[in-house]
Amino acid sequence: MQRSEVNPIPHPVEIVEVAARDGLQSDPTMLSTDQKVELIARAARAGLHRIEAVSFVNPKRVPQMADAEAVMAALRCDAALESLGASYIGLVLNRRGLDRAFATGVDEINAVVVCTDTFARRNQGRSSQELIDETAGICADARDAGLPVSVTVAASFGCPYEGEVPVERLRAVLEGVLAAGPDEVALADSIGVATPSDVRERVALADDLRAGTSTTLRCHFHNTRNTGIANAAAAVEAGVAVLDSSLGGIGGCPFAPNATGNIPTEDLVYMLERMGYATGIDLHALVEVVPWLEATVAHPVPGYLSKAGIFPDSARGAES
């Protein structure tokens, strides 16, 4: 396997905003449907055009996501919001969830395959291979419905139960996932254990395996051990053009011990823009969302940019 080389020319990077789903699924504050819609609307108005808005999972296991149908109905009834053209992603774990997603009119489907058997059984009640088999059907049915489908490979860098995930284990799982022909595959550091060298190695593996296909590569990093932003930088330098993040850095996996903290969208956009990677996102608008988000979830969020401020502050500089 060849290692990914650092890309010397910055390329556009697409951000997938996950605060409304991954951000809220383990938050202690139960937001109302209207509050979730407002969060999504604020993200869309700031220029985030792919938003993971809802999750069609068992409401008894993840009560924060129980109103998925109501959220999507409210989004579709807002003409001003519809005019922004955001693509709403629905997370599904099985055929039942897929049927619910179809009924609400989501724009994209995101399925999940966990890279280790222990975590897979804790998270979804089946082995990794069983999840791969289920995902093949989800991909086929989504294609038949005309919807793009992505597959997130959770625990691609480490498992809370089995520890280190060998590269060859990731290779086997990725081969199974890619055989289903998803439009996009995501490497997820679900518990925030990766380092930039891990990212370069596993991005190179994914690039080798998807060569000759039309499947794009996305990365999803958690900042649990304060390496998430560094890992995002390593990913884009290795050529990755799609990253997940969450406004304020809220979120985490409710089925992985201590797996707190997505990378904050506003911090990520600041870093990428300073590095020369265009995102098409209004950074000032993103920062302005954070105080509202903190008030809404009733606790501080881990993002730094809203506290430290944008540098240089172009608006302030124009006045001086």
With residue 291 as reference, give the H or E element that holds it: helix 283-297
Q: 248 and 302 in contact (C-beta within 8 Å)?
A: yes
Catalytic option among 115, 139, 219, 253: 253
Look up 253 and say whether it is catalytic. yes
**b/e code 264-296 from CB counts within 10 Å (16+ = b):** bbbbbbbbbbeeebebebebeebbebbeebbeb
The CA-CA-CA angle for residues 157, 160, 166, to 5°, reads 35
With residue 164 as reference, give the H or E element that holds it: strand 163-164
Q: Tell me the Cα Rg of the chain.
A: 18
Q: Which residues pair with 113 in a beta bridge?
A: 153
Residue 84: other Cβ atoms inside 10 A: 14
**Rounded CA gap, 65 and 53, in Å?**
10
Cα–Cα nearest to 89, from 119, 112, 109: 109
- Which amino acid is located at 137 in the chain? G
Handedness of CA 53, 58, 61, 63 (dihedral sign): positive
Three-state DSSP state, 133: helix
- Supply the residues annotated as catalytic: 253
